[in-house]
Structure 1
Amino acid sequence: MQAQNHMNDSAPLTSKLWSVHVDDNGVTANDQLTDIIKQTPEQGFNWVHLQADTADAWDTMKHLGFNDETCDSMCALETRPRSIQINEGVLVYLRGINLNPDADPEDMVSLRIWFNEHTVISARRKNRKLLSVQDARLQLEAGGGPTSSSQFLLELIEKIAIRISEVVDSLDDELTTFEAEGGMDSTARYQLSLIRRKAAAVRRYLAPQRDALDTLYRMTKFFDQQQAFQLRDITDRVTRYVEDLDLAKERAMVLQDELRNRIAEQQGMRMYVLSLVTAIFLPLSFLTGIFGMNVAGLPGTEEPQAFTYLAIGMIIVAIVMLFAMLWKKWL
C-alpha cells in the first residue's frame, strides 16, 4: 500500500486523464474531485478516467473518496475479469482488445471500472490505451451518449464486446481461408500454430469476463429491466465468442492433424516409389556385379556380341519385373 498524502483540489493530479460531468446539456469539465463518489448531481453522472500506475494514483483515488481496499483494487498490477460490490458501488475488471501500436491484439488490455448511481471511475495503465474508452468519450462529446452511469457502463461494455467480436471473426476467416487453400508448406504449419495461440490467449481472459458479466447481471439493484436485458444479451454474445474460440482451437487442431497425415502420406508414397525402383534394379545390379568381376573364366570375354546379349537380357529382366509388379498391383 502506498503512503497517503493529504491532497487538496488545487494539487496537480498526474494520474487524472480527464474528469467530466455528463447530463442532458452535454459534457462539461468537472474539477471538483474531492469525495466525488459521494456527490449526487441533480441529473447525469460524473466520469473520471485515471492512469493507475502513476506515483500519485493511490492518493488520487483516496482523494476521490475510496477506502483503502478499493484504492488497492483499482491500482492492482495484475487483474482478472470479475465483478464485486465494494465501497457502496460495483468494481468491474474487464479486458479489451489491444490495438495499440506494435502490440498483439490478443495481449488484452485491463480496464478497471468502479461505478454507482451517479459516478463512473475508470482506470488503465500507462501505454495501455483502450480504443473502446476513447470511442465512448467521443460519443459523449458528440452528444449521443447515455446520461446515466449504468447505461454508460453498458455502452462501454458493448463497445469492448464489438472489438472482441472483430478478432474472433478474424480468426474464423483465417481458418476458413486456410481450409479453402489447403496449403502444406512450413508457412501454413506456422500459421495454424499462430491461430491456436491467438485463440488460447483471447480465451484466457474472455471466459472469466463472461463470468464477470454474469455476476454483474445478478446485481439487479443497479439496473432497470431494460438494462438488465441488454446486459444479458451482451453476456450471451461473450459466451458465444468463447464457444467460437473453442471451436477455432479444435478446427486448428484438426487441420494440423490432417496436415501431418498428408505430409506423412506424401513421404510414404515417395518411399514406396523408391522401393519399387530399387526392386527393379536389384537383379540388374546383381548381373552387372557378376559380369563386372575381373577374374579368369568369365563367360563372354572372348565373344564380340557378349555385351549386346547382356544388355538385352537385362532389359528383358527389367520388363519382367515391371509386369510382375503390375500383376501384383504394386503399382
Structure 2
Amino acid sequence: MATPTITVIDYDETHFEERQIERVEDLAPYRDARTVSWINVCDSLDATMLNKIEGLFKLHPLTAEDILNTNQRPKMEDMVEYVFVSVKLFSYDEQTDKVDTRQISIVIGKTFVLSFEEGSDEIFEPIREKLRKYKGRIRRMGTDYLAYRLLGAVVDSYFTILETLGEKLESLEDKVVTAPDPGVLRAVHALRIQMTLLYRSLWPLREVIGALTREELAVIRRGTVAYFRDVYDHTVQIIETLETDRDMISAMLDIYVSGMSNRLNEIMKVLTIISTIFIPMTFLAGVYGMNFKYFPELKWPWAYGAFWLLMIVIAVFMLLYFRRRKWL
C-alpha cells in the first residue's frame, strides 16, 4: 500500500503557502487559522492517520467511517461545524476499456477544507495553479468557494467520460446496423453496464449538490449558493445526456434483436423455397422409386431424359412463380 501524501495550501488575498506534511500533528496550526487552509490527502487512506485527523479537526466518528468506506453512494451530511460531502470520480482506462471509480471525500469547515482521494490527485491540479498564480477570485473567497471549485472539477470531469462513451456508442450503433454479431452484442452490454454504473453515482450526486443549494448551512455563505447552482445545472445536464445514451443503448439492443430475427427469417425463407421446389420432385422420385414389377414408362427409351426434363420444368416454373409473387 502506498504511503498517504498530505499537502497543505494556506492562502488569502496577500498570503500563499504550499507545503507537504509528514506528520498529522503538523496540521494543528491550520485548524483555526484566519486564512483558508486546504488540506489534501491522496494516494491511500490510512485508518491510523485518519483517526489522528479526526481528533485534530473534531470530526464525527461517522464522518471518518464514511471517508474510509469508499464503496458507498454520494452523500452530504451537515454536521453544523462542518459539511461532509462524498462523490465519485470516474476515469476511462483505454487499455482495459473500462471505467474506473474512485471516491473523493470533502470536509468543508469555516476555515479549512479537507479532501481525501483514492489514488493520485491530478484532477485538482488546475485549481492549485490558479491559487499559485492568483488567477480568478478564488484567493479572495472562503472555504465554501474552494469546495465549489473542487466539486465543479469532479462534475466537469464527467463530460470527458461521457464524450468517450458517446464515441463508442456511435461506433457500435453503425456496427449493429451493418454487421450485427455476438461480439457487437457483448460490446453493447459492456457499454450498458458502464452507463448504469455512471447513472447510479450521478443520480444521488444530483441530490447532494441540490442539498448544498437549498439547505441553510453554516459554512456556506448565501453568495456562494449561486456557484453551487451552476454545478447543479451541470449535473442535471450530464444526467440528461446519460439518460439519452441509455435510451440509445436500449434501442440498439432492439435493433440487434430485430436484425437477427430478420436475418433468421431470410434464411428460413430460402430454405422454405428450396423445400417447396423439391416437394413435387420428391413425389415423382417416390412414385418411380416404388418396387412395382410393371412400369410402362421404364420401357420407353427416352423416359430417363423426359424425367429430368420434367424435373427442370417444375423447378423453373416454381422459381418464376415465386419471383412473380415477389417472394424472391
Matches within 5 A, 1:1-331: 15-24=4-13, 25-29=15-19, 32-34=26-28, 36-37=30-31, 39-41=32-34, 44-51=35-42, 53-69=45-61, 70-86=63-79, 88-98=81-91, 106-125=99-118, 128-144=119-135, 146-147=138-139, 148-181=142-175, 182-183=177-178, 184-218=180-214, 219=216, 221-224=218-221, 226-293=223-290, 295-326=292-323, 328-331=325-328
Contact in 2 for aligned 1:36/1:65 (Cα 8 Å): no
The offset of 1:100, in angstroms, is 7.2
Count how many residue pairs are aligned between Structure 1 and Structure 2.
313
The offset of 1:253, in angstroms, is 0.7
Against the structure 1 CA distance between its residues 112 and 326, is the aligned structure 2 distance closer, same or farther, given a 3 Å change threshold? Answer: closer
- Amino acid in the other structure paired with 2:122: L
SS state at 1:98 partner:
strand
115-124 or 293-302, larger mean C-alpha shift: 293-302
Q: What 5-or-longer segments of structure 2 have no aligned partner?
A: none
| TM-score, normalisation: structure 1 | 0.83
Q: Percent identity?
A: 19
CA deviation profile, 1:70-98 (whole Å, cap 9, x unmatched)? 43343335332122222601111111113
SS state at 2:135 partner:
coil
The offset of 1:270, in angstroms, is 1.4
| TM-score, normalisation: structure 2 | 0.84
The offset of 1:297, in angstroms, is 1.6
Contact in 2 for aligned 1:98/1:130 (Cα 8 Å): no
- Amino acid in the other structure paired with 1:236: D
Against the structure 1 CA distance between its residues 264 and 118, is the aligned structure 2 distance closer, same or farther, given a 3 Å change threshold? Answer: same
CA distance in 1, matches of 2:74, 2:310: 81
Higher helix share: 2
CA deviation profile, 1:210-269 (whole Å, cap 9, x unmatched)? 110111122455444553222101101101211221221111111111111111011111
After superposition, the CA RMSD in angstroms is: 2.7
Contact in 1 for aligned 2:54/2:60 (Cα 8 Å): yes
Against the structure 1 CA distance between its residues 104 and 316, is the aligned structure 2 distance closer, same or farther, given a 3 Å change threshold? Answer: closer
Q: What 5-or-longer segments of structure 1 have no aligned partner?
A: 1-13
